Amino acid sequence: MNYSEGVDLLVEITRKQTFYNLFTGKDIALADKLAYEICKAALLADHVTWKDFICEVQNGNFETENQATDFSNVKMPGLIPNNENNPKTYAADSAETIETKETLETTETIKTKPLSEYPTIIRRIIHEYAALFQERSKLHSVMVEMPESNAESVCAKRAELFDLIKSISVRLEILYFAKREFEEKGILPEESSVFPPVGKEEAESDITLLDEATLKKQKKNLQSSNSKDQTMLEYQSKERTEIKTPMPNGPKRAKIEMRIQERNKKIEEIEILLLKYAGKE
């Protein structure tokens, strides 16, 4: 399949010129991403079935629901024995071009194997990967909707968004390869290498070993930090005032919201562990 023609086709189907900037010159990193976006835009397949759909077309097995479209004259690539016909997956060559597979990795994981069967650190990786991917998608949308202007304020905001998106991409790359190492080689990553401690919020290596009092104290500290961040989101200040002045959408708000989400996940884990102490008082 010709990559450049695929980009043209996607723009023609969606009428979104921004896809030219997203895909042009990135055929090594985004080949599969492009194929998936075309299938999705044409309403022919979704994030679970797109690979099977392409293989069916390549093997000449695809027919439209009402038989209205004739594929007899379509020239498809020649078939190669074994599994060589399957769409190839290319790894990104940098943090800026990393192909994160949409949420396909997480979706396929949940469908094929319950998350409860994974080690704790792998479950944590899967959850953070999904949350960060959604956050990055939101930031991409904000960036695309920005006015096409070279005004200093617009350029500064665009640069902030780009830096934040880039930092998230770097984090996604770390999580993606850690999970792949486990799935392909059975190697569990060192927790400190995937989740390095950060200042006072250094995470315990295994909270399941903490006693009830320590768990409650940690939960209270997390809730207190969330309260401070929520005040910053609502008032753009550490102190509450009579009138709320919500922080506008942007990199700073996104960072704070991500911090709150991470703490909420930790609070949920602690609450589950505290259940074993219920009724023992």
Rounded distance, CA 19 to CA 8, Å?
9
Do 212 and 219 meet the contact criterion of CB atoms below 8 Å apart? no
**pLDDT in the model for residue 115:** 64
Domain ranges within the chain, ordered by starting residue = 1-63, 95-196, 198-277
247-260: average pLDDT: 84
Do 180 and 109 meet the contact criterion of CB atoms below 8 Å apart? no
Q: With 50 as the cut, is the pLDDT of residue 199 above it? A: no
How confident is the model over 132-190, as pLDDT tens digits?
888 888 888 888 888 888 888 888 888 888 888 888 888 888 888 888 888 888 888 88
240-248: average pLDDT: 88
How far is the CA of 39 from the CAs of 8, 33, 196, 228, in angstroms?
Answer: 14, 10, 39, 45
Rounded distance, CA 250 to CA 156, Å?
11
Do 107 and 134 meet the contact criterion of CB atoms below 8 Å apart? no
Least confident interval from 73-82, 140-149, 218-227 = 73-82
Contacts of 258 (CB under 8 A, 6+ apart): 131, 132, 135
In terms of pLDDT, which residue wins out, 261 or 93?
261
Do 164 and 139 meet the contact criterion of CB atoms below 8 Å apart? yes
pLDDT band for position 231 (50/70/90)? very high
For 141, the token pair is 């949308």
Closest CA to 9 of 38, 32, 36: 38
Do 137 and 168 meet the contact criterion of CB atoms below 8 Å apart? no
pLDDT band for position 85 (50/70/90)? very low
Least confident interval from 45-49, 134-138, 263-267 = 45-49
